Amino acid sequence: MRSDVTDPVNDQLKAELLELALEAAHRAGDFLRDGRPADLGVAATKSSAVDVVTEMDIASEKLITGLIADRRPDDGVIGEEGASVEGTSGVQWVIDPIDGTVNYLYGLPSWAVSIAARKDGETLVGVVHAPLRGETYRAVLGEGAQVNGHPARVRPAPAFGLALVGTGFGYLAERRARQAEVLRRLVPEVRDIRRGGSAAIDLCDVATGRLDAYYERGLNPWDYAAGDLIAREAGALTGGRPGEPLSTELTVAAPPGLFEPLQARLEDLGAWHD
C-alpha cells in the first residue's frame, strides 16, 4: 500500500503502534534516567571487551518487551539484548533499549531508547526518546516527523565542503582502524565531523538539522530502524551503497543534494568494507 493512500485500518494500526512505542520509550527512559546506579558497571561483553552490556540495558529491554507482550501478544520482537519473538500478526518491534550504551555507562548524556514497529518489513512507526536531552523524536510513515510534538525538518543541503557530518566507530579494533582511515580522507573535505556515540540520536540530529549528514558502517537494525524513518519523514534520503537500502554494511543519511555526493564519496573511499 503506498503510504500516501488513506487506509483507515492501516491508519488505526499506525496510531496504536505509535501510542505504544511512545509509552514504552518514556517508561524505559524514566527508568534509565532515574534508576541509574551510581556504581553502574559492565554486566557482560559481546563482540569485544569494549562492546558492553549493563544491567540497565537488560532491564530496559525487559520492561519494553513486557509492555509489548501485554498489549500486543501476537507481535514479533527483536532486541539488542536478545529479545526474539517470531509473532503471528505481521508486526515486528525492533528495540534498542539503550542506544549509546557506552555513553550511558560513563554518565554522558547522549543516549536514547529506540523503538520501531514494522509491518511486513516496512517501518510504520519510529520513536527515539533521549531523556537527558528532554527530547522525543517520532515519525509515522507518510505522516512526517516530530520532535517534542513540533515538526522536524532537515537542514537544506549545504555545499559538500560546508557539511557537518556525524559518524561512529565499531567495537572491533580492526574495523575502527579502517573507519579511521576513511575518516582521515574525508575530514579535510567537509566542515567538520561529530561523533556522538548514538546512531539513533545522530539520525535524529539529521532529521532536525543539527547535523547535515550521518554515516556509519556496522550498525544493527535496532540502532537505525527508528532513526531511519524519522530522518526520512523529516526530508532526508537514507541508504547504504549506491542503489542499496541502509544496512549493517553502511548507513548514510542526508538531505537531497548532499546525500548523493556523500554516498558517492563514501563508495570511493570504501567506507562499506573493513
Query: Is 13 or 28 the residue whose CB approaches ligand LIP more closely?
Result: 28
CA-closest candidate to residue 229, choices 200, 258, 209: 200
Q: How far is the CB of 167 from ligand LIP (least distance, A)?
A: 8
Query: Is 13 or 21 the residue whose CB approaches ligand LIP more closely?
Result: 21
Sequence-distant (≥ 6) Cβ neighbours of residue 136 within 8 angstroms: 22, 25, 26, 127, 128, 129, 130, 147, 148
Query: Is 198 or 208 the residue whose CB approaches ligand LIP more closely?
Result: 198
CA-closest candidate to residue 52, choices 61, 60, 42, 62: 42
Give, in order, the Cα–Cα distances in Å from 57 to each of 30, 40, 82, 128, 212: 13, 11, 11, 15, 30
Q: What is the four-CA torsion angle of 212, 266, 184, 171, rounded to 10 degrees? A: 90
Q: How far is the CB of 9 from ligand LIP (least distance, A)?
A: 34
Distance CA 124, CA 126 (A): 7
Query: Is 14 or 100 the residue whose CB approaches ligand LIP more closely?
Result: 100
Q: How far is the CB of 135 from ligand LIP (least distance, A)?
A: 16
Query: Is 72 or 167 the residue whose CB approaches ligand LIP more closely?
Result: 167
| 99 binds ligand LIP, rule: CB under 6 A | yes
| 259 binds ligand LIP, rule: CB under 6 A | no
- Residue 75: CA atoms inside 13 Å, Cβ hemisphere, count? 27
Distance CA 167, CA 183 (A): 9
Phi, psi of 45 (to 5 degrees): -120, 160
Query: Is 68 or 112 the residue whose CB approaches ligand LIP more closely?
Result: 112
Interface residue with ligand LIP, options 96, 212, 228, 233 (CB under 6 A)? 96
User: Which region, judged by CB under 6 A, interacts with ligand LIP, from 14-22, 23-31, 36-44, 195-203?
Assistant: 195-203
Distance CA 93, CA 77 (A): 5
User: Which region, judged by CB under 6 A, interacts with ligand LIP, from 15-23, 30-38, 166-174, 225-233?
Assistant: 166-174
The residues in 210-249 that bind ligand LIP, with binding defined as CB under 6 A, are: 216, 223
Q: Which residue has the cell 537488560?
A: 58
| 205 binds ligand LIP, rule: CB under 6 A | no
What mask, x for binding ligand LIP by CB under 6 A, covers residues 62 to 81? ------------------x-
Site size with ligand LIP, rule: CB under 6 A: 14
What is the CB neighbour count within 10 angstroms for residue 49?
Answer: 10
Residue number with the smallest Cβ distance to ligand LIP: 168
Burial (CB < 10 A; 0-12, 13-18, 19+), residue 22, is: middle
Interface residue with ligand LIP, options 32, 145, 157, 199 (CB under 6 A)? 199
Contacting positions for ligand LIP (CB under 6 A): 80, 96, 99-101, 168-171, 197-199, 216, 223
